[in-house]
């Protein structure tokens, strides 16, 4: 009972901190407006001069560049043998379907929300925030989007029912571009930050949203890649101060690979934390981060049974036929805790949640 109360207090504290963080860019924009006596000298439609020339580049990256980058990095990883012969025919099928299908299925959903639902729900608020300066809109969206995704991700690790919607992403026994998009489709389609960002774009923050999306995509792709671009920062002493800031600010391969480890008993793997997507600082603030500058020896989940692609992509609409699979009919999930160590549940009935 004491543990439950402690968890409740921590959750209450974390929610309070989150609400404060959400309010910071709003307060900053309000103060900017007040200090200028209600006069707006620029809007997000007027980019800072040094960014104007990159706007067309960001638009191209958004439309096709990120997909090309992911494919290109995947080819380099494969050519370098970084998948350690674990990318079997079955795993390739799961990864390719999870990569391609959302590109076809998700845009109509988001388009309907942006073009039909929002004009119906809030018809008089279109472009109401178009006066907000670019940097104000940028930080408003960056914080709102990524902090919301931090909580979405964290809850899918800590709530037993939600875990199996996210489990597909952790089933891959390797890291790299091949598995970066490996997600249950229902997990993806209910991404709350997608609709939050779409709403802010409808309200008039489309240009800042574009820049946030591209920068976040680069960071998250880099964090999933098996090309450990952060290792030089740990190797050379002169770069250690930069590494100290970098690994606490954004997700890096070392911190995110630790999140995908198949064990947390080696002092390196940490699937019970490191939930940050673009910003790792959320894990620092909420005490869910572990920084070791080391990489796990193995990845995935111990209960993985190479389930069918349709079960991994569309559970619980389609269930696995694999005996003992956590995605099969009638299988429950329970959280990992000290109490569970004294219990030996039937593995055909229970799956431990990675939290």
- Which regions in the chain score pLDDT beneath 50? 1-3, 335-350
Token output for 351: 């799956």
- Contact at 8 Å (CB) between 306 and 324? no
pLDDT above 70 as % of the chain: 87
What integer pLDDT is reported at residue 335 of this predicted model?
47
How crowded is residue 174: how many other Cβ atoms within 10 Å of its Cβ? 20
pLDDT score of 144: 93
Per-residue model confidence (pLDDT) at position 347: 40
**Cα–Cα distance list, 60 to 68, 69, 114, 348, 351 (Å):** 11, 12, 21, 48, 43
- pLDDT score at 155: 92
> What pLDDT was estimated at residue 353?
59
Query: Could you read off the pLDDT of 137-163 as tens digits, one per residue?
Result: 999 999 999 999 999 999 999 888 899
Reported as a single tens digit per residue, the pLDDT across 36-81 is 776 665 555 566 776 776 777 777 777 778 888 888 888 888 888 8
């Amino acid at each position: 009972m004491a543990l439950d109360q402690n968890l409740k207090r921590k959750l209450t504290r974390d929610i309070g901190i989150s609400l404060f963080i959400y309010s910071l860019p709003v307060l900053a924009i309000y103060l900017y407006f007040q200090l200028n006596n209600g006069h707006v000298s620029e809007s997000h439609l007027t980019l800072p001069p040094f960014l104007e020339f990159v706007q067309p580049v960001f638009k191209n990256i958004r439309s096709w560049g990120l997909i090309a980058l992911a494919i290109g990095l995947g080819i380099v990883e494969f050519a370098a043998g970084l998948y350690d012969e674990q990318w079997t025919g079955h795993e390739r099928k799961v990864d390719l379907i999870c990569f391609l299908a959302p590109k076809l299925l998700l845009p109509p959903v988001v388009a309907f929300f942006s073009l039909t639902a929002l004009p119906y729900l809030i018809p008089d608020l279109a472009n109401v925030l178009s006066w907000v300066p670019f940097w104000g809109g940028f930080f408003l969206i960056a914080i709102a989007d990524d902090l919301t995704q931090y909580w979405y991700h964290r809850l899918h690790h800590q709530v037993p029912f939600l875990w199996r919607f996210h489990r597909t992403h952790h089933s891959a026994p390797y890291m790299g571009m091949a598995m970066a998009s490996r997600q249950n489709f229902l997990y993806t389609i209910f991404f709350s930050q997608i609709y939050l960002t779409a709403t802010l774009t409808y309200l008039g923050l489309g240009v800042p949203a574009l820049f946030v999306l591209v920068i976040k995509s680069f960071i998250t792709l880099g964090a999933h890649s098996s090309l450990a671009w952060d290792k030089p920062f740990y190797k050379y002493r002169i770069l250690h101060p930069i590494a100290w800031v970098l690994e606490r600010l954004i997700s890096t391969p070392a911190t995110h690979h630790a999140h995908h480890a198949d064990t947390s008993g080696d002092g390196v793997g940490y699937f019970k934390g490191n939930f940050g997507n673009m910003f790792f600082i959320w894990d620092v603030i909420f005490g869910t981060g572990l920084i070791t500058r080391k990489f796990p020896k193995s990845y995935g989940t111990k209960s993985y049974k190479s389930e069918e692609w349709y079960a991994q992509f569309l559970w619980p609409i389609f269930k696995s036929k694999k005996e003992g699979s956590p995605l099969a009919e009638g299988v429950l999930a329970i959280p990992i805790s000290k109490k569970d160590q004294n219990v030996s549940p039937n593995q055909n009935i229970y799956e431990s949640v990675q939290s």
